[in-house]
Structure 1
Amino acid sequence: MTIIKHKMGNVRLFLDKQDDLPTLNSIGWELRTDNDEEIYDWNCTNRMDKQCLFQYTVAGEGELEVGGNVHHIKAGQAFLIEIPGPFSYRIPQGKQKWEYKYLSLTLNAYPLWAPLIENGGRIINLAPDSNVLQFWDKLFEKALTDQIKHIYDNSSYAYRFLMEVRHAVQQQSKPSSTPEPIQKCLHFIDRSFHKPIGLDEIAEAAELSKFHLIRIFQKSIGESPINYLIKVRIKVAAQKLIENDLPIYEIANQCGFSSANYFSKVFQKHTSLTPSEFRNSVGKQKISEVFVK
């Protein structure tokens, strides 16, 4: 297998031997902005490359057009499409950036791919520390370090990735015992944790009084809305501390904390480490293993 590496964290995998097995075609992590010299706008109708594409928004926002219908792909959402096909995707007008992780598979994966669309649709929600994204991280590391040496290794990884997505889709399609107002809260927090939100905004999203919200949230989730919000922010911050070298104040800002000092105090209270200590000592530890009190 020949591996071609690109500067922006992309790996294209060319198999030395073609087969009828579903295989990984490419994997990458990119940041596109509205200042790029090359406009990021893909029309898939007549593209020559044939693949199944999974693309997950890490930050910012993308736009997916399916048969003329436009969908906004926000942080925590992934889209699934086949190429060529009646799809196009781009940075929406007025948006400054789109940071995303992607993985493409050969069309031999379609028999396993199609049920994902049938059961979950073209757009699925995934937490940053979901099993799907954790396995994606492993694949990305293996691809970057040239550890995918054989077509059968490649195919087994492709199959495992598809099964992780399938499991996530099945979990999302199960009827939830969580009250609808609390589901609205969780969705709002997961999508808006980076903003200066508090109990007032969460209660408004749930269409409940603050008193009633606290009572049923505690009963359903086992903690207060604000504590849940803080844990979400800390887990995302921990991910950013591991994955990049952004200054602490910038990570604090991106995760909804009012200042770097406040972020450091809250982070240490819940993890027993300062952000700097965490970054220096934890390394590549899974975020799912981060101890949040």
Structure 2
Amino acid sequence: MNYQQLTRMYMENLEVRVTAAGYNQVWTDWRELDYTPDYNKFYLICDGEGWLKIGDTEYTPRPGEWFLMPQGVEQSFSYTSGPRYTKYWCHFTARIGERNLFDLLQTPLWINAEHDGWAAELFRELLKYHEDPSVTGPLLVKSAMLKLIAYYLEKSAVTQEGLKPAAVSEPLQQVITHIQRCYHRNLTIEELAELAHLQPNYFIRVFKRQFGTSPIQYINKKRLEEAKLLLVTTNLLLAEIGDRVGIPDISYLSRTFKANTGFSPSAYRLTFSAEQLPVNAKKPQQ
């Protein structure tokens, strides 16, 4: 699995929750030393001066800089003698299964958002919905938080440090490679667990903790993605496609396909095959 595939898997399984958010000037007693939060923090500095420490690295953020202070990392912050910080901020969790997103993705701890009005606009959207008392308010807050994270990751990707998944253990890499090559076979948990040198039940937990999905869910998703690709790029019969992707039972393939896409295989082919698309339209990415 390459970096892009792994990162997309993480994004598909990301769950977020906002615990606090605001826009304000800090107080003169804004100070806490050597603590380890169980949530992530974003600070977008708008004005003023101050001091941060994340892990072993100290920073004096300037206006226009957007900081990430990850969950589980020792940190400190303090007001200094200059003008106090005015900042947008939020506390949030971002989990892939049981893991923090920022344990699984290596990102810079700050990016330059100076002259970037969109960053502040995203924070304002989050604050607007965070105060929304309607029944859909929590959904709108999650949507706004996902936009913030997505934008931070997009900006991170073009920095010198870049954006890439943290290292995956060699045994799990072997499991993913094996699934990619052999998804059309009747793969068993016992077979995959043996590759990872783990007891089957423990292997399932380790896999889900790392990727946010179970091994069987991952295999089925791979099979359906391949079935979608074959439907729109070939004239193969459904039975032939089923044999190729490892789901030879046509009835089961049809039911599973519709449950996951909302289309029957034949309707999906008619809707998305290249010859059915308007001129200049792009085929959906597989």
Provide the TM-score with structure 1 as the length reference: 0.43
Provide the TM-score with structure 2 as the length reference: 0.44
Structure number, greater radius of gyration: 2
